[in-house]
Amino acid sequence: MLQVVIVDDEPLALEVLEGYLKKMEHIQSVTLFSKARDALAYLQNQKADILFLDIEMPEMTGIEFLEKLTDPPLTIFTTAYRTYAFEGFELGVIDFLLKPISYGRFSAAIVKAIDFLSLKIQGTQVDSGELMPDFIFVKSGVKRIKLHFNEVSHIQGLKDYAIIHTAKEKIVIKGSIKMVQEMFPSSLFVRVHKSFLVVKKAINRIERNRIIIGCYQIPIGRNYREEVEKSIRMN
C-alpha cells in the first residue's frame, strides 16, 4: 500500500489527480498541497512513496523543490510545458506528465512507478565477479538470473538504482548508471545521457535530441551527442 503526495498550486489539478488515484489499487493515502513550502516541510519529516510534482509554482519551481530534498520520493513531474521533460531525468524523475493529464497517461505513469518500487524491494544486484563475453549474472533474492546483453534495449539510471529494459522484463539493479556502464561492454552499449545507456543495435532512429527505441523516447545529453554520433557512424 502506497503513500502518495501531490504538490500543485492549481486546485483543479489537485482534484483531477486525487480523483484518478481513488480509482487505483494499492494506494493507502493521498496528501494534497497547494503550497510548495508546506509540502517541503511535510516531506522533510514524513515518508512518501510517490510524489506528483508540478513544475511551475509561484514560490519555487518543482525543480528547485526537488533539489531541496535530501531523499525525495519517486517523483512524477506534472506540467503544462514540454520544455522541462529532459531536465527531469537529471533529477531521477521516473516520468513526466503533460497537462491536461488523461487518465490513460496517468495510469501508465503510476504503473511504471509501482513496478519500479516492487522491483526495488527484491534487492536485485549485479554479480560483478562473473562478467562474461555475452552475458552477466544478476542476483534477485536467492536466484541468479543469466542476462544476455543482446536481450537488453536500454538502461535508465534512477539515483542509486538502474533499470535494465529487455524485451521480456525490467530488472532493477542496486547501483549507479556509472557502475553499470563499467560492467557492460562498450562495444555494444553507448552512454547517451547522464541517466541512460542504450544498446547501439536497438536504436530505431534519432530525432534531434532524442533516440527512439521501440515505444521509448530517450534524451541525448548535450555532453554525449558527439559520442552518440561517433557510435552510430561506426555501426
Q: Is the pLDDT of residue 82 over 80?
A: no
Is the confidence at residue 51, as pLDDT, over 90? yes
CA dihedral 112, 69, 19, 86 (to 10 degrees): -50
pLDDT score recorded for residue 186: 83
Mean pLDDT, residues 165-181 taken together: 84
Average pLDDT over residues 153-182: 86
The secondary structure of the chain, three-state, reads: CEEEEEECCCHHHHHHHHHHHHCCCCEEEEEEECCHHHHHHHHCCCCCCEEEEECCCCCCCHHHHHHCCCCCCEEEEEECCHHHHHHHHHCCCCEEEECCCCHHHHHHHHHHHHHHHHHHHCCCEECHHHCCCCEEEEEECCEEEEEEHHHEEEEEEECCEEEEEECCCEEEEECCHHHHHHHCCCCCEEEEECCEEEEHHHCCEEECCEEEECCEEEECCHHHHHHHHHHHHHC
Please indicate, yes or no, whether residues 111 and 187 belong to a single structural domain of this protein: no
Whole-prediction pTM value? 0.65
> Number of folded domains in the chain?
2
Residues 114 and 146 both lie in one domain: no
Averaged over 221-229, what is the pLDDT? Answer: 86
For residues 78 and 160, membership in a common domain is answered with no
Specify whether 226 is located in the same domain as 134. Answer: yes
Same domain as 116, residue 12: yes
Alpha-carbon distance of 214 to 123, in angstroms, equals 28
pLDDT averaged over every residue in the chain: 85
Q: Which residues does 8 contact at the CB level (< 8 Å), separation at least 6?
A: 14, 17, 33, 34, 52, 53, 54, 57, 78
Q: Rounded to the nearest 5 degrees, what angle is found at the Cα of 178, between the Cα atoms of 4 and 134?
A: 110
Percent of the chain with pLDDT over 90: 43
Domain residues for the domain of 13 are: 2-120
Q: What confidence score (pLDDT) does residue 122 get?
A: 59
pLDDT at 140 over 80: no
Order across the sheet with 205-207: list the strands.
Answer: 205-207, 210-213, 216-219
In this structure, the answer to whether residues 115 and 13 fall within a common structural domain is yes
Tell me which of 104, 120, 136 is where a domain ends: 120
Boundary (domain end) residue, out of 101, 120, 139: 120
Same domain, 202 and 228: yes
Q: Which of 120, 142, 162 is a domain's end point?
A: 120
Distance CA 91, CA 85 (A): 11
- Grid cell digits, residue 174: 542496486
pLDDT over 50 at 129, yes or no: no
**pLDDT of the residue at 230:** 79
Residue in the structure block whose three cell numbers are 493521498: 30
Nearest Cα to 89, choosing from 189, 217, 183?
217
Lowest-confidence region among 137-141, 145-149, 212-216: 137-141
* Res 123 pLDDT > 60: no
